[in-house]
């Protein structure tokens, strides 16, 4: 019988605040896009703003993944200091390149 996987949550208040702050900014970008379309703005402007919103979603995803990695993996007791540093480096790489 399979064990139910433990769910990961954003239990740390600062993690939640940061992700919600980013999502609120994205929400504003989407509302601005809606206005641009309603006002029949230039397609190049709409596309540019869509790409900015898309990038913001992508960066928010990367930040979420890095924070989950940091909170869930780095805080486990059985890791050596070198393993903790390597995971911290991986979290930084996710933030930068994902």
In 3D space, the residue among 15, 25, 19 whose CA is nearest the CA of residue 52 turns out to be 25
Which architecture does CATH list for 14-97? Answer: Up-down Bundle (1.20)
Ordered by start, the domain boundaries in the chain are 14-97
Per residue in 4-61, pLDDT (tens digit) is 445 667 778 888 999 999 999 999 999 999 999 999 999 999 999 999 999 999 999 9
pTM: 0.76
∠ CA 60-61-67, rounded to 5°: 90
């Amino acid at each position: 019988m399979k064990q139910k996987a433990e769910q990961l949550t954003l239990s740390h208040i600062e993690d939640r605040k940061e992700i919600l702050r980013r999502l609120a900014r994205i929400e504003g970008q989407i509302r601005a896009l809606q206005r641009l379309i309603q006002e029949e703005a230039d397609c190049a402007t709409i596309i540019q703003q869509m790409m900015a919103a898309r990038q913001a979603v992508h960066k928010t995803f990367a930040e979420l993944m890095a924070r989950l990695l940091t909170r869930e993996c780095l805080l486990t007791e059985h890791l050596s200091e070198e393993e903790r540093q390597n995971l911290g480096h991986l979290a930084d790489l996710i933030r930068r390149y994902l």
